[in-house]
């Protein structure tokens, strides 16, 4: 997508094809159609199970291409580092030759061989980019530094597969924060719940609401007035976390949550601990929670899935908040007998 000297945003080239709705979304995300917005060097997000990675650069005056250029990469995978490396290679190719043909050649080489080498413009090797590294790219310690014990609210919401909405006026802050949150439930290693850049657009919101639980990032504060979109609202700019009224019963905090919160905070505040070690500590505590749920689990009457024995759970006489949490956790894991 290019913005020429007349200020027009032009959809110049696409391979192999895309839908009208996705094209409109990408134009909205790249900001070239809005004069009042800053250009963002890199944004990413998800739309109906397709990841989009967008980088925007101003072409140097020395180039014959005097315009602003946006490159978009669509993928089924979550891996920003891989997309950025591919962008660098594609941009250099386009800047040098002024034609998409060379970009296409490098892309096809990566697609078919997993490698593209160029003495002048650098090289790209697919196997250099591990999905686990993408999952570990953010900083759990930064999140705990900002929210302290309240981080357990985010952990609980993720465990129960609730809807989390994050607001900050700067998209970079939103993306850095949201991309890290799924690491709080590392045992799932599920980044498909991440929708890091969402507009209050009917089509986008419709796609979002098809998801059972999610993490959604917004730069429009108006989203705070949309309680139909969230169970937990994070105002990142003000360091505030709010639980929506309809979610308060499921999100009731008790002794178990304090224990989890203490593990998170103590691990994150240890200067000797790396982010990956903090994630591991949280994962160990999370495993203990599932272990405590195991004695109340049984095979369903039809001999199929594992379900929760609600009566056995009640007879254990856990503190009310713990029993409530375990019940809703079982519901999130689809362990309730219908």
The 10s digit of each residue's pLDDT in 227-237 is 999 999 999 99
The 10s digit of each residue's pLDDT in 172-194 is 999 999 999 999 999 999 999 99
* Distance from C-alpha of 293 to C-alpha of 298, rounded to nearest angstrom: 11
The 10s digit of each residue's pLDDT in 90-101 is 888 888 887 888
- What values do phi and psi take at 72, rounded to 5? -120, 135
Q: Would you tell me how many other CB atoms lie within 10 Å of the CB of residue 145? A: 13
Which value, in Å, is the radius of gyration of the alpha carbons in the chain? 23
The 10s digit of each residue's pLDDT in 254-267 is 999 999 999 999 99
Q: Which two tokens stand for residue 35?
A: 């004069």
Q: How many CA atoms lie within 13 A of 176 on its CB side?
A: 12
Range picked from 8-22, 39-53, 139-153 for highest mean pLDDT: 139-153
Q: How many CA atoms lie within 13 A of 245 on its CB side?
A: 3
Evaluate whether the domain defined by 135-338 bears CATH number 3.30.70.360.
no
Q: Three-state DSSP class for 99?
A: coil
Confidence of residue 112 (pLDDT cuts 50, 70, 90): confident
Question: Tokens 């049984």 correspond to what residue?
Answer: 298
pLDDT at residue 225 tops 90:
yes
Average pLDDT over residues 308-322: 93
pLDDT of residue 136: 82
């Amino acid at each position: 997508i290019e913005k020429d000297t007349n200020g027009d945003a032009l959809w110049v080239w696409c391979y192999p094809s895309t839908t009208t709705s996705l094209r409109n979304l990408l134009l909205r995300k790249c900001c070239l159609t809005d004069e009042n917005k800053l250009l963002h060097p890199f944004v990413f997000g998800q739309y109906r199970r397709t990841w989009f990675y967008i980088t925007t650069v101003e072409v140097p005056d020395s180039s014959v291409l005097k315009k602003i250029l946006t490159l978009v990469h669509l993928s089924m995978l979550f891996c920003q580092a891989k997309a950025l490396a591919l962008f660098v290679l594609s941009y250099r190719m386009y800047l040098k030759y002024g034609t998409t043909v060379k970009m296409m050649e490098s892309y096809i080489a990566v697609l078919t061989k997993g490698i593209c080498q160029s003495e002048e413009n650098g090289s790209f090797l697919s196997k250099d980019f591990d999905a686990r590294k993408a999952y570990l790219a953010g900083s759990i310690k930064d999140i705990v530094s900002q929210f302290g014990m309240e981080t357990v609210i985010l952990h609980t919401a993720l465990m129960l597969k609730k809807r989390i909405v994050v607001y900050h006026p700067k998209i970079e802050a939103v993306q850095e924060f949201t991309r890290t949150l799924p690491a709080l439930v590392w045992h799932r290693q599920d980044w498909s719940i991440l929708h890091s850049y969402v507009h209050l657009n009917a089509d986008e919101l419709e796609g979002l609401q098809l998801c059972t639980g999610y993490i959604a990032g917004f730069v429009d504060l108006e989203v705070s007035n949309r309680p139909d979109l969230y169970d937990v609202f994070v105002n990142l700019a003000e360091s505030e976390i709010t639980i929506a009224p309809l979610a308060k019963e499921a999100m009731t905090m008790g002794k178990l949550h304090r224990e989890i919160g203490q593990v998170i905070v103590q691990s994150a505040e240890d200067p000797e601990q790396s982010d990956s070690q903090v994630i591991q500590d949280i994962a160990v505590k999370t495993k203990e929670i599932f272990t405590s749920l195991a004695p109340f689990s049984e095979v369903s009457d039809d001999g199929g899935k594992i379900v929760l024995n609600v009566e056995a759970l009640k007879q254990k006489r856990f503190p009310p908040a713990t029993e409530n949490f375990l019940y809703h956790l079982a519901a999130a894991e689809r362990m309730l007998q219908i």
